[in-house]
Amino acid sequence: MRKKANNIIPTSIDGKMQPQAVELEEIVLGAMILENEQLEAVITILKPENFYKPSHQSIYRAITDLFNSSNPVDLRTVPEQCRKNGEYDIAGGHYYISTLTDRVASSANCEYHARIILQKYLARESIRLSTENIQNLYNDETDIEEEIESDISKKTALINNDNSDNNYQIGEVNKAGLILLDKIRCGEVESGIHIGFLGLQRKLGGWHYSDFIIIAARPAMGKTAFALQLIIKPAITHKIPTAIFSLEMSKEQLIIRIQSDYSYYPAERLRTGEITNDVINSISKSTEFLDKLPVYINDKAAITVSYLRAKAKKLCKKQGVKLIVIDYLQLMKSELKQGNREQEISYISSSLKSLSKELNIPIIALSQLSREVEKRGGGKRPQLSDLRESGSLEQDTDIVGFIHRPEYYDINELVNGEPSAGRAEIIIAKNRHGATFTSIIGFEAANVRFYDLERSEPAPLLPNTSFETQTEPF
């Protein structure tokens, strides 16, 4: 037997009437009983808890139970189902249920009415969550940042946990796909975000929208340096807004890396103060174009998924950001109060994949590799099983890439037999869109800088080069 619902209706919060649409609830329920063709449309929108009155929740629950069991829905079956559910009295019995059909003049706008009911529910729940949040903030023992992030997470979950119909007939999707392909052919839209390295660009076709990508490596392989290339190059050549969430390095450390990269003055000398006024002037001139780049840096440490979601949505909406990089995944915190680290990483990983789909942008997360790479003989090439806390990383990702520098291990040859000096392998070990492969790029140890071997690099941007003139595609 189903537990009886509480039939007390909270009429107000702080003396104000809660958002509600009781009359529309009556009309929608009556229409569903009278005209069964309205059932499917409404059931994809509403859940029992979306109704304001407990009696309406019970009646709607009975209707959905009958629908899900392929039984008829009418003035006889609905009261009987309420009785089976142990909610006959709460529902108001035969008499009240029969009066609902009297409210229906026309069922033509039933779906529209259902969406209004959902909006009222979202308003009530948002008020409830905000009230709880305010009460908790008055408590001196509350961790303020954690409470704010928890509030954001709950409200985001409230929006996402709807009953919207995401089912599409294949013909509709096919037409949309053909339109998109034609736009790509005509150059009206890009198939993905340009990577900045021609070998990777040719094989992958760019970073695809809604993809979740892992770039992993052992320490000292140059993960952050590679990540900076990924956010800077699209911004320079295509004016694509990008962002990096740096959990390990401060914004000042990152900008020194970037200044070193584009002024060609070793970052190590910049950090140790081996600079003169002439060097400062030279760096200032050679990096003037950086001021104009649509690149955004967030260096808050130990961020949670809810914090990232809130900031990422704002960056996409306000700044038009099309690519986000996270440096790095294992430094993120999970909202899970229980569970081991592998479960936390699994939660973070699946959340990042969901976020990439929600925002329709590629999200790249850097990741550490386990020490098994160091123990392995031969070329010490990374493999998927080397991903730390890899419970769901491999499963959730669309692309997994490894940065491997054989020279670091005193290995003289690359996988293709060429000398390893000044070279790095980008190993695409998982590719949901095609084949796996290895791409060779250049690496300059003095500047901790990766560069494209298929271009006339390494070469710094000239001091008088402006942002607008950097139009050569990557």
Q: Are 224 and 216 in contact (CB under 8 A)?
A: no
CA nearest neighbour of 469 among 243, 237, 232: 237
The first and second tokens of residue 116, run together, are 């209004």
H or E segment and range at residue 439: strand 437-444
Catalytic residue among 248, 358, 372, 457: 248
Cα separation, 279 vs 363, in Å, equals: 36
140-151 burial code (b ≥16 CB/10 A, e <16)? eeeeeeeebbbb
Annotated catalytic, 248? yes
One-letter amino acid of 137:
L
For residue 425, list its beta bridge partners. 404, 440
Peptide bond into 458 cis (omega under 30): yes
**Dihedral angle over CA of 413, 418, 424, 427, nearest 10:** -90
Greatest distance between any 2 Cα atoms in the chain: 90
Radius of gyration of the chain (CA): 28
H or E segment and range at residue 289: none
Cα separation, 213 vs 232, in Å, equals: 17
Catalytic positions, written as ranges: 248
